Structure 1
Amino acid sequence: MAAGFLQAFSSEAEQQSVSVITSDDYARRVEILDDFEQAGISWLWATDADGHLVYLSEKAAENLNKPINELLATPMTALFENDPDNPDEKSDRPFKYHMSRRSKVSDLIVRRVPQTLSPEDRPTWWMISGHPKFDDAGEFQGYRGNAKDVSVLYQRKLEDSRRAEFDALTGLANRHRMNSQLTGMLGAFKSANRSCAIMMLDLDRFKQVNDTMGHPAGDELLRQVAQRMRSVVGDIGEIGRLGGDEFQVIFPDLDDRGKLGEIAGEIVKTISDPYPINGKSATIGTSIGIAIAPYDGIEKDELINSSDLALYAAKNSGRGQFRFYSADLKNEEEERRLLIEDMRDALANEQVELHYQPVVRTDDNIVVGFEALMRWVHPERGAISPAVFIPMAEDLNLINQLGEWALRRACKDALQWPKSVRVSVNVSAVQFANSGFPEVVKNALSDSGLEPDRLELEFTERVFTGDNETIDRTFNILKDLGVRLVLDDFGTGYSSLSYLRSAPFDRIKVDKSFVDTCTQQDKNSTKIIAAIIGLSEALGMETTVEGVEAFDQLNLVCSKGAQYIQGWIYSEAIPIVEIEEKLGSGEFKIEPDGPELYQPDRRTVFRRIGAIHEDHRYDVVMRDLSKSGARFEGILGVPVGTKLVLDLGGGQLVICTVTQSNEAILDAEFETPLVCDGAGRLCTRHRVSPYDLCAAGMPLAALPPGNYPLVQDSSQPTSPPQFMQVAIGGS
């Protein structure tokens, strides 16, 4: 009992010896506060009612690398802001909003405003908590709070988040992020009636680079592609790599098809330039499909499907181009599926034949050669464009078989011509990469008996993809056979000069794109044509200028020294029967025949459109269309100077002014020029919803034909029509 008493007494004595700190002991409380701040566990801060810092822990100032006196009296929101990349921040309200609410702030991650950082400062993130302080009268006095540096943990979290949303190889957004971005964007845009465009891309011939140069080279190529796309797209869109060689670009608030076409064209051009990889050169291309919300879809899957169909159409039309989505693309994809089934039997059923386009000497208009061009005449669908079936043959691995047939047929046909006339055969990059290609050429010459120097093999820059030693070896074997080598589409790539140095070409062909623009004063095409002709002469090579269609082009290229011409001004490609008839006398001379002036954007059309005047709609037939105007017929009594709205279909409305009126035939000039749709056709920059037209006051009777369940037919024409509708035959 005595022992228990002594133990209890001892415990009570120990308690009485502890020096506790009460709320009245201000000095010791301040000491603890100092110890807390010096330990760096957390810092304290306080503001006045206007948000200016009135107190900040010394350690906090050291963390910001600023003297305490420079920080005090500074607005808290001038030092810190929300981090837009914060993966955990669900609110889009800025830090200033949180502070202005005068309510509790708990564990809010903010970053130091970048503009306050000096070159030696590091990016800093703080976790801030604070409570508003009010006086007895309820007046706000400012914030009292604590903060701590979470930079290391936060940057680690950012990196983890980035790995989840961005492609590790290219640094572009991944499929998950692009889908999330598109879904959120479309949801917000639907409520605000805003537009959004997406581009879907994949790389042409990327698999060939992977197979011939290895996967590390393929990875490096993808990185370079990503860099080039960033240089074109900039800040106006987000680029993502969906996987493999598939890419996507999202453009918020952009529905201008002219602008989108310019961007797509620049992407195609930029990606098609050669890539330096491990001391070698790789050449690829890209095809692009474009869809625009809300016209081509308002849900994510719908819009992506539309862009996919446009991409397929771009690839099926020859690759290296872009296409906008249109409703008829679904039919095109079904048509392609059916054609693929028929392609395998086309050769066996003798549906494929060769036509020959003459190459003419300008001095005397004598034909010195022919280029063999494949033609597929389908028994049900008629003529199929080579731009459609050649890529299809490559995809189906039929191009070697098709190419060998063309080579053998051309050699046999040329054997019947005078010995002064050569034949040119196009060779695809897939054929050239085949190790057995030189043997195919040798056998075609041997079986036909054609002299080797009468055969010209035409290559584009695509053949230079792959191993340089293999390419040089193949060219040397071909030259040893005695055939002539031709570089086609010269001048369209940055490395054309290096190709001339590395390959023993006998002839180069000036690309048609330079001829198309050579008569335009604001282009350098004339100088380029003259430079190419001069270069070829210096290298001892011949030059053929392709694509000459009008006399102004012919006269210009001849004045620059062109000796050989290939173009419609002399002849299109013709069947072998016509050639044999013309060559019966031993010489084939063609006089040039074509328009005086080349007009690149004028095209003949024949389709029904609508012409809207005031509150009346007339049915007319369009005869000619260009970027700047149209000719159509179907209305009588329209004075020159009359303003009309032409409905070209699919929401394409264009304001025009009548410039000529000859009875029912009218010429009109557009207020805004049309743009190219990527398929050689013309379209308006923007499209207009019928509902928008109705909301703007257009009567239902004047709207394009269709079913409009959301439009109330309350507005009827208020005046009689001023012009007379004339019935036009045809369809």
Structure 2
Amino acid sequence: MSEQSNTLKAKAASLSIRQVIGFETPEGTDWALVHGQQYAVLRDRVMARAVLHLVGFVMVAVMAYQVIPTVALALWGVTLIAAVAHSARADFKLGDADSRAISVTEMEAHALTTAAKGAIWSAGLLLCAVYAGAGATLLAWAVVAMLVLGSSASRYGAPLSSIAFACAASLGGLIASLVTGQFMLAAIVTLSTLLAVFGIIESARVAVAVRLAESAMQEKSEVVSMLLREFEEGQADWLWQVDTSRRLRGVSPRFAFALGLEPGEIEGESFLQLISGDGWKTGRFPQSLHDLADKLKRRENFSNLTVKVSIGGQTRWWELSGTPIVDELGKYQGFRGVGSDVTEQRESSEKIAYLARYDTLTQLPNRRMLNEGLGEALEHAAAWRSRCALMMIDLDRFKAVNDSLGHLVGDRMLAEVAARLKSLMRDGEVCGRLGGDEFAVVLREAPNRERIDQLANDIIQRLSEPYKIDNHLLYVGASVGSAFGPRDGRTVEELLRNADLALYRSKGEGGGSHREYEPSLHANAEERRQLEHSLRHALERDEFTLHYQPVVDARSEEVVSFEALLRWNSADHGFVSPAKFVPLAEDTRLIVPIGTWVMERACHEAAQHWPEHIKVNVNVSPEQLLESDFVANLVRALSESGLDPKRLEIEVTESIFLRDASVAREALESCMALGCSVALDDFGTGYSSLGYLRKLKFSTIKVDRLFVQGAAQQSPESIAIIRAVVAMADSLGMTTTAEGVENEEEVEMICSLGCTKIQGYHFGRPMPLEDVRAMLARAPQDQRLKSA
């Protein structure tokens, strides 16, 4: 009650005077209807107000009939009676205001009618002041004050009309007191009028707040009634009742409908038998039915007990609540309760739980469930002093399938991979999908590495078998990394990280193999992390330099170009081998800004300090070619340095065609359109295909040093490959560069095989700028000596 009172007070205090008297409507409120209820009440006390006015008139008339002329007194009385009758008629007309919306115009009209009554009383006060003197005026004001007080205190009054009457009637009292020289009375009249107006407003404020509260309560009551009606009609719940023998009594139609039977068919039947289905004959009941039977047997209250029932051969889930029935003597009479069919909610919950723990594409456990399983395996291993294991699997070359044939084919392949993995599992082994093309296997028991090695080999072999999807015959491989718990990690996070490090090593070695975790892998990973951190700041610290290795003409042995080679002298790690930091830069895409810097420096050096017939060769990573602004950066490097595009040769490897081949080809074609030449480096060592040479007009094919060294050792295969490459390049109008030539014998052999250019330590190691400039400065003098 206190809370309701406080709420009512707060609501009343929030109302403004204009809202109380009806001139302003708060947002979201049917204000006219609220005031309509206020004005409708006037009809209930019409006669009482009329009698009160007539009694007041009689009192004044008796007091002053001897001094006021009879004609004036009679005229005043007739006018007052007419005004009271007119006001009563107006009150009767507003009797239906509670069933409609009253307008401001109607309220103003009623206020004018009431003000007319007050004005007539003011006229009577003036008659008393003129003819009867001060005493009669005081007594007449007392009668008027009584009427004003009654209007302000009565709930059967509208605030606007009450204020109008009080002001109109008091005006005559104020003038009469001033005419008779009763200034104290004038002050009393003014103060009484103000208090009356204040009282009218405050009474109306509370009355309006009460009406608003009643309206809100009525609305809430209607909403509750509607909800109860919908509940009754919606057949959401039902009542059930059993006797001491657990037989149904007073079966309701809705409960019978839930059982799929008629009420008469199940009255007196065993409740448990009806909901147990075939289990009643076999004696095999769900645990939830045992729990229900136990509650009934122990006569215990229960609430929201979920029970698995069988209705018409279908499995359903009911949520039951029940309480024992006890008579006035305390004797047990049975059970009564309510029930609901929650099958749909149960299935939705189970589906949500399934989606939270299983991968929707492969139907395998997801990362969350694998983590939980790995945690349980670690706890089991710690408790029994045994070993568990985690294997992480990554598909090789899967991205190429996804990119070339689309994600739909890729998803179907992942589903086939999952099926193959699942077929390899034994008891205590669970496979799941971590995400993308990464899978994992948790082995609860791994006493030795033989099972791990065997399973890893089976996985690699099975996943490497061809896949036939939509008339496509597809091939992918698999790389596996493993770690043992608790040897390689006592927590889920540690074991995941270490198995991932082993997988990374397997991928780094070319894939298609299994590697176990070793402590050195963690050290390598930490070193890689530190190198990456330093590499991110190498450009701003100006730690990179360029060395240049000469490329000579095979016949004249004159320098025709220099290959720009990146070197890093780190402030944190000292000199870092390119074989270590270049792959790291490519993995982290730092090669893009670094490659741009190399291009700018190499072009500037060649343009400013080399003879015009000497070219510069710049290696470009596939990551750079895939950047949309690669060509723009190239144009800027050429224009700012002033280098002739014909003096720039861009070197790429065949790996550019393993990513987005169309983007790479468009970028290289744009470079050729500028006048630059393009060389294919390391041809024959990786993914060689003659189709590459058909797609792009390369200027040079570089023969890898492995074939050069093989030919130097008289390897027939290496010699045959070099001859084939030279013959093919000659027929296509391309030059060939042999890499890794280290002595005179190899030079003679390469020349005999027909290569047009040579690069190797025999003609010069990679050298800094100063040595390149000195070498170029000596070149004319060396040429003159050869000529002499």
TM-score range, shorter chain: 0.3 to 0.5
More strand by share: 1
TM-score (normalised: structure 2): 0.43
TM-score (normalised: structure 1): 0.46
Q: Which has the higher contact order (CA 8 A, sep 6+)?
A: 1
